[in-house]
Amino acid sequence: MSSSIEHIRHSLAHLLAAAVLEIYPEAKNTIGPSIDNGFYYDFEFPKGVAISEKDFPAIEKKMREILKTWKNFEEKEVSAKDAKKFFKDNPYKIELIEDLENTKEKITFYTSGKFTDLCRGGHVEDTKEIKPDAWKLTRVAGAYWRGDEKNAMLTRIYGLSFTTKKELDEYIAIEEEAKKRDHKKLGKELGLFVFSDLVGPGLPLYTFKGATIRREIINYSNELQKNIGYQEVHTPNINKAELFKVSGHYEKYKESMMKVMSNYSKEEYFLKPMNCPQHTQIYASEPRSYKDLPIRIADFANLYRDEKPGELSGLTRLRCFCQDDAHAFCREDQIKEEFINVLGVIKKALATYKMNYSIRLSLWDPEKPEKYLGDASVWNKSQKILEEILVENKIEHIKAIGEAAIYGPKMDVVTKDSLGREWQISTIQLDLIMPERFKLTYTDKDGKQKTPVMIHRAIIGSPERFMGILIEHYAGNFPLWLSPVQVKIAPVKDSNFKKAEETGKLLKDAGIRVDTDLNDVNFGKKIREAKDMKIPYTVIIGDKDMEAGVVTLESLDHGKVGAFPIEEVISKLTKEIKEKK
Protein backbone atom coordinates (compact mmCIF):
# COMPACT_ATOMS: atom_id res chain seq x y z
CA MET A 1 0.00 0.00 0.00
CA SER A 2 1.33 3.43 -0.81
CA SER A 3 0.94 6.30 1.62
CA SER A 4 -0.59 9.68 0.84
CA ILE A 5 1.64 12.60 -0.11
CA GLU A 6 0.73 14.25 3.22
CA HIS A 7 2.25 11.25 5.01
CA ILE A 8 5.40 11.55 2.92
CA ARG A 9 5.60 15.28 3.68
CA HIS A 10 5.11 14.86 7.40
CA SER A 11 7.66 12.01 7.49
CA LEU A 12 10.15 14.39 5.88
CA ALA A 13 9.50 16.86 8.71
CA HIS A 14 10.66 14.15 11.14
CA LEU A 15 13.72 13.56 8.95
CA LEU A 16 14.50 17.28 8.96
CA ALA A 17 14.29 17.38 12.76
CA ALA A 18 16.53 14.30 13.06
CA ALA A 19 19.17 15.89 10.82
CA VAL A 20 19.04 19.30 12.52
CA LEU A 21 19.41 17.71 15.97
CA GLU A 22 22.41 15.68 14.83
CA ILE A 23 24.14 18.77 13.46
CA TYR A 24 22.97 21.12 16.24
CA PRO A 25 22.49 18.92 19.33
CA GLU A 26 21.61 22.03 21.39
CA ALA A 27 18.64 22.92 19.15
CA LYS A 28 15.13 22.24 20.41
CA ASN A 29 12.59 20.78 17.99
CA THR A 30 8.96 21.85 18.40
CA ILE A 31 6.39 20.95 15.73
CA GLY A 32 6.60 19.86 12.08
CA PRO A 33 3.43 19.42 10.03
CA SER A 34 2.88 18.73 6.33
CA ILE A 35 1.60 21.72 4.33
CA ASP A 36 0.60 22.45 0.72
CA ASN A 37 3.46 21.28 -1.51
CA GLY A 38 5.73 20.33 1.36
CA PHE A 39 6.46 20.54 5.06
CA TYR A 40 8.15 22.62 7.74
CA TYR A 41 9.64 22.18 11.17
CA ASP A 42 10.05 24.90 13.84
CA PHE A 43 13.21 24.92 15.97
CA GLU A 44 14.74 26.94 18.72
CA PHE A 45 18.43 27.21 17.87
CA PRO A 46 21.01 27.95 20.57
CA LYS A 47 22.02 31.60 20.94
CA GLY A 48 24.46 32.71 18.27
CA VAL A 49 23.33 30.11 15.70
CA ALA A 50 21.51 31.74 12.78
CA ILE A 51 20.37 29.23 10.17
CA SER A 52 20.20 30.39 6.57
CA GLU A 53 19.81 28.83 3.14
CA LYS A 54 23.59 28.43 3.10
CA ASP A 55 23.19 25.67 5.69
CA PHE A 56 20.73 23.69 3.54
CA PRO A 57 23.24 21.54 1.61
CA ALA A 58 24.70 20.21 4.88
CA ILE A 59 21.26 19.60 6.40
CA GLU A 60 19.95 17.95 3.24
CA LYS A 61 23.05 15.74 3.04
CA LYS A 62 22.51 14.65 6.63
CA MET A 63 18.82 13.99 5.92
CA ARG A 64 19.72 11.68 3.01
CA GLU A 65 22.26 9.83 5.15
CA ILE A 66 19.74 9.32 7.94
CA LEU A 67 16.98 8.30 5.53
CA LYS A 68 19.07 5.29 4.48
CA THR A 69 19.10 4.08 8.08
CA TRP A 70 15.31 4.42 8.54
CA LYS A 71 12.82 1.65 7.79
CA ASN A 72 9.52 2.80 9.24
CA PHE A 73 7.86 4.77 12.06
CA GLU A 74 7.45 2.66 15.18
CA GLU A 75 4.53 3.80 17.34
CA LYS A 76 4.64 3.60 21.14
CA GLU A 77 2.10 4.88 23.64
CA VAL A 78 3.78 6.49 26.64
CA SER A 79 2.69 7.91 29.98
CA ALA A 80 2.84 11.67 30.51
CA LYS A 81 5.50 11.09 33.13
CA ASP A 82 7.76 9.10 30.81
CA ALA A 83 7.14 11.53 27.96
CA LYS A 84 8.16 14.51 30.10
CA LYS A 85 11.22 12.64 31.30
CA PHE A 86 12.27 11.95 27.72
CA PHE A 87 11.84 15.61 26.73
CA LYS A 88 13.08 17.09 30.02
CA ASP A 89 15.31 19.62 28.19
CA ASN A 90 12.65 20.74 25.74
CA PRO A 91 10.08 23.14 27.27
CA TYR A 92 8.06 23.20 24.03
CA LYS A 93 7.48 19.46 24.02
CA ILE A 94 6.71 19.57 27.76
CA GLU A 95 3.99 22.15 27.01
CA LEU A 96 2.51 19.93 24.29
CA ILE A 97 2.59 16.90 26.59
CA GLU A 98 0.83 18.86 29.35
CA ASP A 99 -1.87 19.89 26.86
CA LEU A 100 -2.41 16.23 25.91
CA GLU A 101 -2.52 15.36 29.58
CA ASN A 102 -5.17 18.03 30.24
CA THR A 103 -7.38 16.90 27.38
CA LYS A 104 -6.78 13.25 28.36
CA GLU A 105 -5.50 12.36 24.91
CA LYS A 106 -3.25 9.46 24.09
CA ILE A 107 0.45 10.38 24.15
CA THR A 108 2.39 8.66 21.40
CA PHE A 109 6.05 8.58 20.40
CA TYR A 110 7.18 7.63 16.92
CA THR A 111 10.68 6.29 16.43
CA SER A 112 12.62 5.74 13.26
CA GLY A 113 16.29 4.84 13.45
CA LYS A 114 17.75 6.76 16.39
CA PHE A 115 15.19 9.57 16.27
CA THR A 116 12.08 9.72 18.42
CA ASP A 117 9.43 12.43 18.30
CA LEU A 118 6.22 13.21 20.10
CA CYS A 119 3.56 12.88 17.41
CA ARG A 120 -0.05 12.00 16.64
CA GLY A 121 0.90 9.91 13.60
CA GLY A 122 0.44 10.23 9.86
CA HIS A 123 3.68 8.80 8.41
CA VAL A 124 4.71 6.59 5.51
CA GLU A 125 4.45 2.86 6.16
CA ASP A 126 7.84 2.26 4.60
CA THR A 127 10.53 4.92 4.29
CA LYS A 128 11.29 3.62 0.77
CA GLU A 129 8.23 5.65 -0.25
CA ILE A 130 10.27 8.83 0.32
CA LYS A 131 12.16 9.34 -2.92
CA PRO A 132 15.50 10.90 -1.94
CA ASP A 133 15.40 13.33 -4.90
CA ALA A 134 11.73 14.38 -4.77
CA TRP A 135 12.13 16.93 -1.96
CA LYS A 136 14.24 19.96 -1.16
CA LEU A 137 14.63 22.54 1.59
CA THR A 138 13.55 25.96 0.37
CA ARG A 139 13.63 28.75 2.91
CA VAL A 140 13.94 29.90 6.50
CA ALA A 141 11.44 32.14 8.26
CA GLY A 142 10.75 33.34 11.76
CA ALA A 143 7.64 31.94 13.46
CA TYR A 144 6.25 32.54 16.93
CA TRP A 145 5.73 29.47 19.07
CA ARG A 146 2.09 28.50 18.59
CA GLY A 147 1.59 31.54 16.32
CA ASP A 148 1.43 33.89 19.30
CA GLU A 149 3.59 37.00 19.17
CA LYS A 150 3.87 36.98 22.97
CA ASN A 151 5.81 33.73 22.66
CA ALA A 152 9.40 33.02 21.65
CA MET A 153 10.41 33.51 18.04
CA LEU A 154 11.44 30.20 16.52
CA THR A 155 13.21 29.34 13.26
CA ARG A 156 11.02 27.66 10.70
CA ILE A 157 12.67 25.62 7.96
CA TYR A 158 10.47 24.97 4.92
CA GLY A 159 10.79 22.16 2.40
CA LEU A 160 9.06 21.14 -0.81
CA SER A 161 8.06 17.53 -1.31
CA PHE A 162 6.39 15.60 -4.11
CA THR A 163 5.88 12.01 -5.11
CA THR A 164 8.46 12.17 -7.89
CA LYS A 165 11.46 14.30 -8.86
CA LYS A 166 9.63 15.27 -12.05
CA GLU A 167 6.78 16.82 -10.06
CA LEU A 168 9.26 18.67 -7.85
CA ASP A 169 11.15 20.03 -10.88
CA GLU A 170 7.91 21.13 -12.55
CA TYR A 171 6.78 22.90 -9.40
CA ILE A 172 10.11 24.73 -9.07
CA ALA A 173 10.06 25.72 -12.75
CA ILE A 174 6.54 27.19 -12.40
CA GLU A 175 7.54 29.06 -9.23
CA GLU A 176 10.52 30.59 -11.03
CA GLU A 177 8.41 31.54 -14.03
CA ALA A 178 5.79 33.06 -11.72
CA LYS A 179 8.50 35.15 -10.06
CA LYS A 180 9.58 36.49 -13.45
CA ARG A 181 5.97 37.25 -14.31
CA ASP A 182 5.10 38.86 -10.98
CA HIS A 183 2.59 41.54 -11.93
CA LYS A 184 3.99 43.99 -9.39
CA LYS A 185 7.40 43.76 -11.10
CA LEU A 186 6.06 43.69 -14.70
CA GLY A 187 3.49 46.38 -13.95
CA LYS A 188 6.31 48.69 -12.94
CA GLU A 189 8.56 47.77 -15.88
CA LEU A 190 5.75 48.27 -18.37
CA GLY A 191 4.57 51.46 -16.65
CA LEU A 192 0.99 50.32 -15.97
CA PHE A 193 0.34 51.45 -12.40
CA VAL A 194 2.04 53.02 -9.40
CA PHE A 195 1.49 53.22 -5.67
CA SER A 196 2.12 56.29 -3.55
CA ASP A 197 2.64 56.50 0.20
CA LEU A 198 0.69 59.74 0.15
CA VAL A 199 -2.33 58.05 -1.44
CA GLY A 200 -2.21 54.94 0.71
CA PRO A 201 -1.79 51.18 0.64
CA GLY A 202 -4.04 49.09 -1.62
CA LEU A 203 -4.92 52.18 -3.68
CA PRO A 204 -3.12 51.92 -7.03
CA LEU A 205 -2.89 54.81 -9.49
CA TYR A 206 -3.26 53.61 -13.07
CA THR A 207 -1.09 55.36 -15.63
CA PHE A 208 -2.44 56.07 -19.10
CA LYS A 209 -1.26 52.62 -20.21
CA GLY A 210 -2.75 50.76 -17.24
CA ALA A 211 -5.97 52.71 -17.48
CA THR A 212 -6.19 51.73 -21.16
CA ILE A 213 -5.98 48.01 -20.35
CA ARG A 214 -8.53 48.46 -17.57
CA ARG A 215 -10.87 50.29 -19.94
CA GLU A 216 -10.56 47.54 -22.59
CA ILE A 217 -11.39 44.85 -20.03
CA ILE A 218 -14.44 46.85 -18.91
CA ASN A 219 -15.57 47.53 -22.48
CA TYR A 220 -15.40 43.86 -23.35
CA SER A 221 -17.41 42.81 -20.28
CA ASN A 222 -19.91 45.52 -21.13
CA GLU A 223 -20.19 44.36 -24.72
CA LEU A 224 -20.79 40.74 -23.60
CA GLN A 225 -23.38 41.66 -21.00
CA LYS A 226 -25.23 44.05 -23.28
CA ASN A 227 -25.77 41.07 -25.57
CA ILE A 228 -27.71 39.29 -22.84
CA GLY A 229 -29.78 42.30 -21.86
CA TYR A 230 -27.80 44.08 -19.13
CA GLN A 231 -27.99 47.87 -18.92
CA GLU A 232 -25.15 49.87 -17.41
CA VAL A 233 -26.07 52.21 -14.55
CA HIS A 234 -23.93 54.43 -12.36
CA THR A 235 -24.32 54.72 -8.59
CA PRO A 236 -22.63 56.71 -5.78
CA ASN A 237 -19.67 55.49 -3.74
CA ILE A 238 -21.12 56.41 -0.36
CA ASN A 239 -24.35 55.30 1.22
CA LYS A 240 -26.19 55.72 4.48
CA ALA A 241 -25.65 52.92 6.97
CA GLU A 242 -29.40 52.30 6.75
CA LEU A 243 -28.99 50.73 3.32
CA PHE A 244 -26.54 48.18 4.68
CA LYS A 245 -28.69 47.56 7.73
CA VAL A 246 -31.53 46.48 5.46
CA SER A 247 -29.24 44.44 3.20
CA GLY A 248 -27.64 42.70 6.15
CA HIS A 249 -24.10 43.82 5.32
CA TYR A 250 -24.02 46.09 8.38
CA GLU A 251 -24.57 43.06 10.55
CA LYS A 252 -22.37 40.52 8.76
CA TYR A 253 -19.78 42.56 6.86
CA LYS A 254 -19.25 45.80 8.76
CA GLU A 255 -15.60 45.19 9.67
CA SER A 256 -14.73 45.14 5.95
CA MET A 257 -16.50 48.46 5.21
CA MET A 258 -14.91 51.91 5.45
CA LYS A 259 -16.79 54.56 7.38
CA VAL A 260 -17.22 58.11 6.04
CA MET A 261 -18.22 61.20 8.02
CA SER A 262 -20.30 64.10 6.76
CA ASN A 263 -19.81 67.60 8.17
CA TYR A 264 -23.54 68.20 8.00
CA SER A 265 -25.20 65.15 9.43
CA LYS A 266 -24.68 62.79 12.31
CA GLU A 267 -25.73 59.83 10.23
CA GLU A 268 -23.26 57.08 9.57
CA TYR A 269 -22.15 56.69 5.98
CA PHE A 270 -20.09 53.91 4.43
CA LEU A 271 -18.09 53.52 1.24
CA LYS A 272 -19.84 50.71 -0.55
CA PRO A 273 -18.18 47.30 -0.67
CA MET A 274 -20.58 46.06 -3.38
CA ASN A 275 -23.35 47.37 -5.63
CA CYS A 276 -26.20 45.00 -4.80
CA PRO A 277 -28.03 47.02 -2.14
CA GLN A 278 -28.12 50.11 -4.38
CA HIS A 279 -29.39 48.15 -7.34
CA THR A 280 -32.37 47.00 -5.31
CA GLN A 281 -33.26 50.72 -5.00
CA ILE A 282 -33.22 51.18 -8.78
CA TYR A 283 -35.53 48.17 -9.04
CA ALA A 284 -37.78 49.55 -6.29
CA SER A 285 -38.00 52.99 -7.91
CA GLU A 286 -41.05 52.06 -9.97
CA PRO A 287 -43.82 49.47 -9.93
CA ARG A 288 -42.81 46.31 -11.82
CA SER A 289 -44.98 43.82 -13.63
CA TYR A 290 -44.19 40.17 -14.39
CA LYS A 291 -43.86 41.27 -18.01
CA ASP A 292 -41.01 43.70 -17.13
CA LEU A 293 -38.81 40.93 -15.74
CA PRO A 294 -35.94 40.19 -15.87
CA ILE A 295 -34.60 43.66 -15.04
CA ARG A 296 -30.84 43.48 -15.55
CA ILE A 297 -28.50 46.12 -14.10
CA ALA A 298 -24.72 46.38 -14.49
CA ASP A 299 -22.40 48.80 -12.68
CA PHE A 300 -18.69 49.69 -12.72
CA ALA A 301 -18.74 52.07 -9.76
CA ASN A 302 -15.73 51.99 -7.46
CA LEU A 303 -16.02 49.67 -4.48
CA TYR A 304 -14.05 49.91 -1.25
CA ARG A 305 -13.10 47.24 1.22
CA ASP A 306 -11.17 47.79 4.40
CA GLU A 307 -8.63 45.01 3.85
CA LYS A 308 -5.95 44.51 6.51
CA PRO A 309 -2.79 46.35 5.34
CA GLY A 310 -0.77 43.13 5.72
CA GLU A 311 -3.06 41.32 3.30
CA LEU A 312 -2.86 43.87 0.48
CA SER A 313 -0.85 42.68 -2.49
CA GLY A 314 -0.28 44.45 -5.83
CA LEU A 315 -3.51 44.47 -7.82
CA THR A 316 -4.77 41.13 -6.51
CA ARG A 317 -5.85 42.44 -3.09
CA LEU A 318 -6.99 46.06 -3.14
CA ARG A 319 -8.89 48.58 -1.05
CA CYS A 320 -10.41 50.28 -4.11
CA PHE A 321 -11.52 48.49 -7.24
CA CYS A 322 -14.64 47.97 -9.34
CA GLN A 323 -16.38 44.84 -10.54
CA ASP A 324 -18.26 43.84 -13.65
CA ASP A 325 -20.85 43.23 -11.02
CA ALA A 326 -24.41 42.98 -12.21
CA HIS A 327 -27.79 41.97 -10.93
CA ALA A 328 -30.80 40.42 -12.59
CA PHE A 329 -34.18 40.63 -10.88
CA CYS A 330 -36.40 37.89 -12.26
CA ARG A 331 -39.27 35.48 -11.66
CA GLU A 332 -38.52 32.02 -10.31
CA ASP A 333 -39.40 30.46 -13.66
CA GLN A 334 -36.68 32.60 -15.29
CA ILE A 335 -33.78 31.58 -13.04
CA LYS A 336 -32.52 28.70 -15.13
CA GLU A 337 -32.46 30.63 -18.38
CA GLU A 338 -30.67 33.56 -16.72
CA PHE A 339 -28.00 31.27 -15.32
CA ILE A 340 -27.42 29.53 -18.64
CA ASN A 341 -27.15 32.88 -20.49
CA VAL A 342 -24.63 34.23 -18.01
CA LEU A 343 -22.65 30.99 -18.08
CA GLY A 344 -22.50 31.25 -21.88
CA VAL A 345 -21.05 34.76 -21.66
CA ILE A 346 -18.49 33.70 -19.03
CA LYS A 347 -17.37 30.81 -21.25
CA LYS A 348 -16.98 33.17 -24.18
CA ALA A 349 -14.93 35.66 -22.15
CA LEU A 350 -12.62 32.98 -20.76
CA ALA A 351 -12.08 31.56 -24.27
CA THR A 352 -11.08 35.05 -25.45
CA TYR A 353 -8.61 35.38 -22.57
CA LYS A 354 -7.40 31.83 -23.28
CA MET A 355 -8.09 30.54 -19.80
CA ASN A 356 -9.32 27.08 -18.81
CA TYR A 357 -11.88 26.72 -16.07
CA SER A 358 -13.87 24.38 -13.88
CA ILE A 359 -17.14 24.93 -12.07
CA ARG A 360 -17.60 24.85 -8.33
CA LEU A 361 -20.99 24.78 -6.67
CA SER A 362 -20.46 26.78 -3.48
CA LEU A 363 -22.90 25.83 -0.74
CA TRP A 364 -23.56 27.09 2.76
CA ASP A 365 -22.29 25.36 5.86
CA PRO A 366 -25.42 24.08 7.64
CA GLU A 367 -23.35 23.75 10.84
CA LYS A 368 -22.63 27.49 10.90
CA PRO A 369 -25.98 29.10 10.04
CA GLU A 370 -24.95 32.25 11.95
CA LYS A 371 -22.58 33.13 9.09
CA TYR A 372 -25.48 33.47 6.65
CA LEU A 373 -28.74 35.33 6.14
CA GLY A 374 -31.97 33.35 5.88
CA ASP A 375 -32.97 29.95 7.22
CA ALA A 376 -32.36 26.37 6.14
CA SER A 377 -35.56 26.13 4.08
CA VAL A 378 -34.55 29.07 1.83
CA TRP A 379 -31.05 27.65 1.47
CA ASN A 380 -32.27 24.18 0.61
CA LYS A 381 -34.55 25.66 -2.03
CA SER A 382 -31.93 27.86 -3.69
CA GLN A 383 -29.22 25.19 -3.56
CA LYS A 384 -31.57 22.68 -5.18
CA ILE A 385 -32.25 25.04 -8.09
CA LEU A 386 -28.52 25.48 -8.81
CA GLU A 387 -27.89 21.75 -8.64
CA GLU A 388 -30.73 21.14 -11.08
CA ILE A 389 -29.25 23.63 -13.56
CA LEU A 390 -25.89 21.87 -13.42
CA VAL A 391 -27.35 18.37 -13.67
CA GLU A 392 -29.90 19.17 -16.41
CA ASN A 393 -27.21 20.81 -18.54
CA LYS A 394 -24.71 18.05 -17.79
CA ILE A 395 -22.21 20.60 -16.46
CA GLU A 396 -19.34 18.93 -14.62
CA HIS A 397 -18.77 20.48 -11.21
CA ILE A 398 -17.47 19.98 -7.72
CA LYS A 399 -19.25 20.97 -4.51
CA ALA A 400 -17.71 23.18 -1.83
CA ILE A 401 -19.42 23.43 1.52
CA GLY A 402 -19.05 26.74 3.35
CA GLU A 403 -18.09 28.71 0.22
CA ALA A 404 -21.51 30.32 -0.39
CA ALA A 405 -22.15 34.08 -0.25
CA ILE A 406 -23.90 35.34 2.89
CA TYR A 407 -27.20 35.54 0.99
CA GLY A 408 -27.10 32.46 -1.22
CA PRO A 409 -25.33 29.62 -3.05
CA LYS A 410 -22.97 30.33 -5.94
CA MET A 411 -21.83 28.80 -9.16
CA ASP A 412 -18.16 29.79 -9.10
CA VAL A 413 -16.03 29.47 -12.18
CA VAL A 414 -12.49 28.59 -11.13
CA THR A 415 -10.13 29.57 -13.92
CA LYS A 416 -6.62 28.34 -14.62
CA ASP A 417 -3.97 30.69 -15.96
CA SER A 418 -1.16 29.75 -18.34
CA LEU A 419 0.96 28.56 -15.40
CA GLY A 420 -1.83 26.28 -14.20
CA ARG A 421 -2.58 28.44 -11.15
CA GLU A 422 -6.20 28.70 -10.09
CA TRP A 423 -8.10 31.97 -9.70
CA GLN A 424 -11.69 32.49 -8.72
CA ILE A 425 -13.01 35.30 -10.89
CA SER A 426 -16.39 34.57 -12.47
CA THR A 427 -19.43 33.83 -10.38
CA ILE A 428 -23.21 33.52 -10.61
CA GLN A 429 -25.12 33.68 -7.36
CA LEU A 430 -28.72 33.02 -6.49
CA ASP A 431 -30.28 35.18 -3.81
CA LEU A 432 -33.75 34.62 -2.39
CA ILE A 433 -33.02 36.73 0.67
CA MET A 434 -32.10 40.30 -0.30
CA PRO A 435 -35.26 40.96 -2.38
CA GLU A 436 -37.25 39.92 0.67
CA ARG A 437 -35.28 42.19 3.01
CA PHE A 438 -35.80 45.16 0.68
CA LYS A 439 -39.47 44.23 0.21
CA LEU A 440 -39.12 44.20 -3.58
CA THR A 441 -42.22 43.19 -5.47
CA TYR A 442 -43.76 42.73 -8.89
CA THR A 443 -47.34 42.27 -9.94
CA ASP A 444 -47.86 38.76 -11.24
CA LYS A 445 -50.28 37.56 -13.95
CA ASP A 446 -52.96 36.91 -11.32
CA GLY A 447 -52.64 40.48 -10.03
CA LYS A 448 -50.91 39.38 -6.81
CA GLN A 449 -47.76 41.02 -5.44
CA LYS A 450 -44.79 38.64 -5.51
CA THR A 451 -41.11 38.84 -4.55
CA PRO A 452 -38.60 38.65 -7.39
CA VAL A 453 -35.43 36.58 -7.23
CA MET A 454 -32.06 38.34 -7.41
CA ILE A 455 -29.13 36.95 -9.36
CA HIS A 456 -25.70 38.44 -8.65
CA ARG A 457 -23.05 37.76 -11.27
CA ALA A 458 -19.58 38.74 -12.43
CA ILE A 459 -17.93 37.79 -15.71
CA ILE A 460 -14.30 38.51 -14.86
CA GLY A 461 -14.95 40.03 -11.44
CA SER A 462 -12.79 43.05 -10.76
CA PRO A 463 -11.11 44.49 -13.90
CA GLU A 464 -8.23 45.75 -11.73
CA ARG A 465 -7.58 42.39 -10.08
CA PHE A 466 -8.10 40.66 -13.42
CA MET A 467 -5.50 42.97 -14.96
CA GLY A 468 -3.02 41.75 -12.33
CA ILE A 469 -3.88 38.15 -13.19
CA LEU A 470 -3.62 38.84 -16.94
CA ILE A 471 -0.19 40.49 -16.62
CA GLU A 472 1.09 37.19 -15.18
CA HIS A 473 -1.03 34.99 -17.48
CA TYR A 474 0.39 36.70 -20.59
CA ALA A 475 3.79 37.43 -19.01
CA GLY A 476 3.18 41.05 -20.04
CA ASN A 477 2.69 40.09 -23.73
CA PHE A 478 -0.85 41.35 -24.03
CA PRO A 479 -2.82 40.37 -27.13
CA LEU A 480 -3.18 43.22 -29.63
CA TRP A 481 -6.68 44.28 -28.54
CA LEU A 482 -5.57 44.72 -24.91
CA SER A 483 -2.16 46.28 -25.50
CA PRO A 484 -1.90 49.88 -24.30
CA VAL A 485 0.38 50.65 -27.26
CA GLN A 486 -0.54 48.45 -30.20
CA VAL A 487 1.95 49.69 -32.79
CA LYS A 488 5.26 51.46 -32.59
CA ILE A 489 6.40 53.36 -35.66
CA ALA A 490 10.16 53.31 -36.00
CA PRO A 491 11.65 55.47 -38.77
CA VAL A 492 15.17 54.35 -39.66
CA LYS A 493 16.66 57.83 -40.30
CA ASP A 494 15.74 61.52 -40.04
CA SER A 495 14.73 61.46 -43.71
CA ASN A 496 11.96 58.99 -42.82
CA PHE A 497 10.52 61.04 -39.93
CA LYS A 498 7.94 62.91 -42.00
CA LYS A 499 6.61 59.69 -43.52
CA ALA A 500 6.54 58.11 -40.06
CA GLU A 501 4.43 60.99 -38.75
CA GLU A 502 1.96 60.65 -41.63
CA THR A 503 1.77 56.89 -41.15
CA GLY A 504 1.20 57.31 -37.43
CA LYS A 505 -1.68 59.65 -38.11
CA LEU A 506 -3.30 57.17 -40.51
CA LEU A 507 -3.14 54.40 -37.89
CA LYS A 508 -4.44 56.71 -35.17
CA ASP A 509 -7.35 57.78 -37.36
CA ALA A 510 -8.17 54.09 -37.84
CA GLY A 511 -8.51 53.78 -34.03
CA ILE A 512 -5.20 52.00 -33.47
CA ARG A 513 -3.13 52.97 -30.40
CA VAL A 514 0.16 54.05 -31.86
CA ASP A 515 3.46 55.44 -30.61
CA THR A 516 5.47 57.23 -33.30
CA ASP A 517 9.07 57.31 -32.18
CA LEU A 518 10.61 60.54 -33.52
CA ASN A 519 13.28 60.61 -30.83
CA ASP A 520 16.80 61.40 -31.85
CA VAL A 521 18.18 57.98 -30.91
CA ASN A 522 19.55 55.28 -33.15
CA PHE A 523 17.22 52.86 -34.87
CA GLY A 524 18.47 49.79 -32.96
CA LYS A 525 17.51 51.42 -29.67
CA LYS A 526 13.98 52.15 -30.94
CA ILE A 527 13.52 48.49 -31.84
CA ARG A 528 14.90 47.32 -28.48
CA GLU A 529 12.54 49.63 -26.61
CA ALA A 530 9.57 48.28 -28.58
CA LYS A 531 10.56 44.76 -27.46
CA ASP A 532 11.15 45.80 -23.84
CA MET A 533 7.75 47.49 -23.75
CA LYS A 534 6.25 44.34 -25.34
CA ILE A 535 4.53 46.31 -28.11
CA PRO A 536 2.85 43.70 -30.36
CA TYR A 537 3.74 45.32 -33.71
CA THR A 538 6.46 47.61 -35.02
CA VAL A 539 6.11 49.45 -38.31
CA ILE A 540 9.53 50.20 -39.77
CA ILE A 541 9.97 52.96 -42.33
CA GLY A 542 13.27 53.19 -44.21
CA ASP A 543 14.35 54.70 -47.52
CA LYS A 544 13.66 51.47 -49.43
CA ASP A 545 10.18 51.22 -47.92
CA MET A 546 9.46 54.80 -48.95
CA GLU A 547 10.65 54.19 -52.51
CA ALA A 548 8.45 51.07 -52.79
CA GLY A 549 5.46 52.80 -51.16
CA VAL A 550 5.29 50.24 -48.33
CA VAL A 551 6.11 49.85 -44.64
CA THR A 552 7.79 46.86 -43.02
CA LEU A 553 5.68 45.15 -40.35
CA GLU A 554 7.34 43.23 -37.52
CA SER A 555 5.57 41.28 -34.82
CA LEU A 556 6.87 40.86 -31.27
CA ASP A 557 6.12 37.13 -31.31
CA HIS A 558 6.92 36.15 -34.90
CA GLY A 559 9.53 38.62 -36.16
CA LYS A 560 9.23 40.06 -39.66
CA VAL A 561 5.73 39.74 -41.11
CA GLY A 562 6.48 41.45 -44.44
CA ALA A 563 6.34 44.71 -46.41
CA PHE A 564 2.87 46.05 -47.21
CA PRO A 565 1.15 49.24 -48.29
CA ILE A 566 -0.08 50.98 -45.11
CA GLU A 567 -3.77 50.39 -45.99
CA GLU A 568 -3.14 46.65 -45.87
CA VAL A 569 -1.44 46.91 -42.48
CA ILE A 570 -4.38 48.93 -41.13
CA SER A 571 -6.97 46.43 -42.33
CA LYS A 572 -4.95 43.47 -40.99
CA LEU A 573 -4.53 45.04 -37.55
CA THR A 574 -8.10 46.32 -37.37
CA LYS A 575 -9.35 42.82 -38.07
CA GLU A 576 -7.07 41.31 -35.43
CA ILE A 577 -8.22 43.87 -32.84
CA LYS A 578 -11.88 43.29 -33.65
CA GLU A 579 -11.55 39.52 -33.41
CA LYS A 580 -9.63 39.82 -30.10
CA LYS A 581 -7.13 37.20 -31.29
| Catalytic residue numbers, as ranges | 276, 305, 323, 325, 327, 410, 456
By beta-carbon proximity to Zn ion, the closer residue of 193 and 379 is 379
| Residue 62 lies near Zn ion (rule: CB under 5 A) | no
Q: What are phi and psi of 62, to 5 degrees?
A: -65, -40
Distances (CA, A) of 166 to 60, 233, 568: 19, 51, 48
Q: Report, in Å, the least distance between residue 276 CB and Zn ion.
A: 3
Q: Report, in Å, the least distance between residue 544 CB and Zn ion.
A: 59
By beta-carbon proximity to Zn ion, the closer residue of 275 and 503 is 275
Q: Report, in Å, the least distance between residue 247 CB and Zn ion.
A: 10
> What does the angle CA 294 – CA 296 – CA 298 come to, to the nearest 5 degrees?
170
Pairing between β-strand 269-271 and β-strand 238-240 as defined by DSSP bridges: antiparallel
Q: Report, in Å, the least distance between residue 105 CB and Zn ion.
A: 15
Q: Report, in Å, the least distance between residue 25 CB and Zn ion.
A: 21
Secondary structure of 209-262 in HEC code, one letter for each residue: HHHHHHHHHHHHHHHHHHHCCCEEECCCCEEEHHHHHHHCHHHHCHHHCCEECC
Segment lying near Zn ion (by CB under 5 A), choices 39-47, 101-109, 115-123, 443-451: 115-123
Pairing between β-strand 356-363 and β-strand 449-450 as defined by DSSP bridges: unpaired
Helical axes 376-392 vs 335-352, angle rounded to 10°: 60
By beta-carbon proximity to Zn ion, the closer residue of 120 and 226 is 120
Segment lying near Zn ion (by CB under 5 A), choices 383-391, 417-425, 448-456, 498-506: 448-456
Segment lying near Zn ion (by CB under 5 A), choices 114-122, 147-155, 517-525, 561-569: 114-122
Is the previous residue joined to 294 through a cis bond, with omega within 30 degrees of 0?
yes
Distances (CA, A) of 351 to 102, 345, 415, 481, 581: 57, 10, 11, 14, 10
- Under rule CB under 5 A, how many of the chain's residues touch Zn ion? 3
By beta-carbon proximity to Zn ion, the closer residue of 434 and 480 is 434
Residues 161/20, Cβ–Cβ less than 8 Å: no
CA–CA separation, 205 and 227 (whole Å): 31
| Residue 31 lies near Zn ion (rule: CB under 5 A) | no
| Residue 456 lies near Zn ion (rule: CB under 5 A) | yes
Residues 275/461, Cβ–Cβ less than 8 Å: no
Segment lying near Zn ion (by CB under 5 A), choices 290-298, 377-385, 455-463, 559-567: 455-463
CA–CA separation, 332 and 543 (whole Å): 69
- The whole-angstrom distance between residue 199's C-alpha and the CA centroid of its chain comes to 24
Number of residues that make up the chain: 581
CA–CA separation, 577 and 227 (whole Å): 19
| Residue 9 lies near Zn ion (rule: CB under 5 A) | no
Segment lying near Zn ion (by CB under 5 A), choices 34-42, 112-120, 518-526, 544-552: 112-120
By beta-carbon proximity to Zn ion, the closer residue of 18 and 539 is 18
| Residue 119 lies near Zn ion (rule: CB under 5 A) | yes
Q: Report, in Å, the least distance between residue 121 CB and Zn ion.
A: 6
By beta-carbon proximity to Zn ion, the closer residue of 160 and 428 is 428
Per CB under 5 A, contacts with Zn ion among 247-276 are 276
By beta-carbon proximity to Zn ion, the closer residue of 28 and 499 is 28
Q: DSSP letter at 317?
A: B
Q: Report, in Å, the least distance between residue 18 CB and Zn ion.
A: 11
- Residues within the interface to Zn ion (CB under 5 A): 119, 276, 456
